[in-house]
Amino acid sequence: FKIGLCQLKVTPDKDKNILRARSAIEEAAEKGAELVLLPEIWNSPYSNDSFPTYAEDIDAGFDFSPSTAMLSDVARSLNITLVGGSIPERSGDKLFNTCCVFGSDGKLKAKHRKIHLFDIDIPGKIVFKESKTLTAGEKPTIVDTDVGRIGIGICYDIRFQELSMLYAARGAKLICYPGAFNMTTGPLHWELLQRARAVDNQVYVATCSPARDASSGGYVAWGHSTLVGPLGDVVVTTEHDEAVVIGEINYYEVEVRRRNMPLEKQRRGDLYQLIDVSRLGEDSSVN
């Protein structure tokens, strides 16, 4: 099946961002995408000052969340699965960085709150602390869709390989990471981390970034939305401008790679183990 990566230019105008996102989703579907992925924080500028202002109460319903209302409507009308990037979410007195996944019927299938908050301080390069305004999520997110089982992470989540290992152990063959790496970490690690997570787990990894806007005066995204295959190969990518990129996913490739190099069978469980803490209460399984 085909996946569409919608690299969007983000402005301070939320209504304009929503319209721009819908247009890009429609373009991806017209090009044959059955699954569409949006960027991290696509409806708002990426800043601690903006998160409280642009946040939406997703649980309160679509009247209180115009961004997810649009995502639901367009997923249903186009009959596609939609990994809706992320938006600032307000829940009670807390704010989260949240990705909503909608099925082809327009219903909300999953909601991932960013687990690992982006708190970094690289002297002379970049300082950003999401924890000033955002609360970390508490649950890994894996969701069954019309195009298979998908694991969800947001941006900084990609740096923590245990999360991707957990998703692979639960049967995901595709992990989607809406993200917004910056001009310091982007050139160094954006593609490297995608390829590493794909090779580590023999899965597809899809990422989607906002387009770069150096004139904004704020946080500048690296861009380069990408689909990586289970061999670590770059299937499709783009540069830093606004774009809709289409790539093809074939899960048979996952099976071939795992058969040729059976890492799961060769892992030394007698020496080291990944414990899926969130499932211990369900069946005491250790992956």
Round to whole Å and give the CA distance between 181 and 261.
Answer: 31
Cβ pair 107, 75 in contact under 8 A: no
Catalytic residue among 26, 34, 40, 56: 40
Catalytic residue among 9, 109, 111, 114: 114
99 is annotated as an active-site residue: no
Residue 42: exposure state from Cβ atoms within 10 A (0-12, 13-18, ≥19): buried
Exposure b/e, 154-191, CB count within 10 A at least 16 = b: bbbbbeeeebbbbbbbbebbbbbbbbbbbbebbeeebb
Exposure b/e, 17-37, CB count within 10 A at least 16 = b: bbebbbebbbbbbeeebbbbb
Catalytic residue among 100, 155, 176, 208: 155
56 is annotated as an active-site residue: no
114 is annotated as an active-site residue: yes
Annotated active-site positions, please? 40, 114, 155
